[in-house]
Structure formats: C-alpha cells, structure tokens
C-alpha cells in the first residue's frame, strides 16, 4: 500500500482497506473492534501502518468506515488534514 510515515494514503486506499476489513468481518462474525495493526500486534518491531494511517485507527474513524461498509454503504472516507509531524503529500498513484 505504501509507507504512511512518508506519504499519505489516498481516499481510494482508505476506502478499499475499509471494505477489505469489512468483508471477512461480516462473513465470519468478527467484530470490527478486534481489528489491529501490525504495530499493535508486534509492539516495538514495526511502525506499520505508519502514522498517517494509524491516526484513523486511533481516533476510531477507520472502524466507522468499516462499519459503514459492513452495512452495505460506501464508506464516506474524508481524510484528515496533514499531521504536523507527518507526511503532507498523498501517495502517488500511477
């Protein structure tokens, strides 16, 4: 997907990630609140998914988008402003 310590995820990436998590969550009855990042699962070993994506996990916005997708809606993804100490440029999409 990219290095979100260096680049910002695109709206399409955020929307796709929410849909990707929603599908098995709904199909297998896994509560979206159980979703973790690699950084959560392996503290101190990785920064994945990077600070610009992680903020959506930390503030609950990503799980809100996942729940919208589970409900059959198009996730209403609205990226936040650039973080003060984070990347400002969105990921380049070919």
Q: Which residue range forms the structural domain that includes residue 44?
A: 11-70
| pLDDT tens for each residue of 70-81 | 999 999 999 999
The model's pTM is 0.89
The total domain count for the chain is 1
* 22 CA to centre of own chain: 12
- From the list 74, 73, 41, the residue with the least C-alpha distance to 57 is 41
pLDDT digits (tens, 9 = 90+) for 20-46: 999 999 999 999 999 999 999 999 999
Do the domain assignments include residue 93? no
The predicted pLDDT at position 90 comes to 81
Provide the pLDDT for residue 89.
85
b/e for 32-60, b at 16 or more Cβ within 10 A? beeeebebeeeeeeeebbbbbbbbbbeee
């Amino acid at each position: 997907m990219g290095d979100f310590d260096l680049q910002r995820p695109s709206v399409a990436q955020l929307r796709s990630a929410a849909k990707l998590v929603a599908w098995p969550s709904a199909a297998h009855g896994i509560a979206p609140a159980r979703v973790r990042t690699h950084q959560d699962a392996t503290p101190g070993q990785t920064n994945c998914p990077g600070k610009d994506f992680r903020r959506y996990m930390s503030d609950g916005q990503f799980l809100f988008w996942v729940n919208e997708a589970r409900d059959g809606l198009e996730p209403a993804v609205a990226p936040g402003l650039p973080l003060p100490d984070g990347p400002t440029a969105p990921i380049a999409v070919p």
